[in-house]
A and B are shown apart, each in its own frame.
Chain A
């Protein structure tokens, strides 16, 4: 049997607790702990911390299991209906009775409630993004478009009081008159 120094044993303690060492080394450390009170105290302290940790860990896992069981209760037919119609619900596109069913689910069922909240938050974010995109347009095209269609319209006397369509009709009838197709009743 090899004699280990206290420093070596303390360095290997956490591996010893996890039983990650070969059997020979495990035996050597055990022997040392039986003979050295200093190292035994260190070992007891560390052991306690590990045990507490393991205890807390198992309790959290238990809680999670319970949570999953609770979760399953809410994933019922009502929830399925809610899920199917949530999108149309926020668009106000459901019939009155379906609207009420979705609203009821959102009140009773905590999972449904969270999903409704998330959906509304998502919608709000979309709308903010849309607003931002709209303001990305820094140019004004409207004047240019008007110029384009004005060019395609016949030219008129600007000072005249007649509206554009009246002018167009006048021009047309003048044109027809000049060709003798349309006479003004004379």
Chain B
């Protein structure tokens, strides 16, 4: 299977001791990868390094074989992402916000902008400015921006933040649609474990900056009643090991 994202020995420790330590991970084409971990485990740090917002102390991330540190433009060409809070320029309309991004891609025209606004249910707010948007609407616009360029890889950090139930279902459907129809690979972090269980086909658990385990969702569900049980057992086991070691 084609390797889409290759993370090798990724390390970045902040002054407060938090961060990530020696993370190794491979993501394959068609994966909807769920990145699970408690608060402060290092999920966002890893995703920020993957998208070039933060530089690692050690290690590298390759997307389609291009290093994010060395060949940024090539590595990010087929990537769409949404990191932490979905940001938009408050003084530009939803359409103009997407138009700003569209200029970086030769094959994204106004029709495509309308398409993604339709896909995320934002078409009726096309000419409105995000300063009047609710958190959920901003999140939808952020998701529209992430899939605008028809990316082959989409990296989403807490994509369901601020969305209502209807919004969550819509976005889940959108992810599954893109994964099935366009073979888009997804790398998603979320606290909503039930949603991860329904959406993702591979799960990785990160705890205290270290990768604990990577397993396919069907395999996990063979041994555990729910993904939540698996997650709690993984984290508890690790917590116990580290407390025993002390």
Is the pairing of A and B real? no
Query: Hey, which bits of chain A sit against chain B, CB under 8 A?
Result: none
Query: Hey, which bits of chain B sit against chain A, CB under 8 A?
Result: none
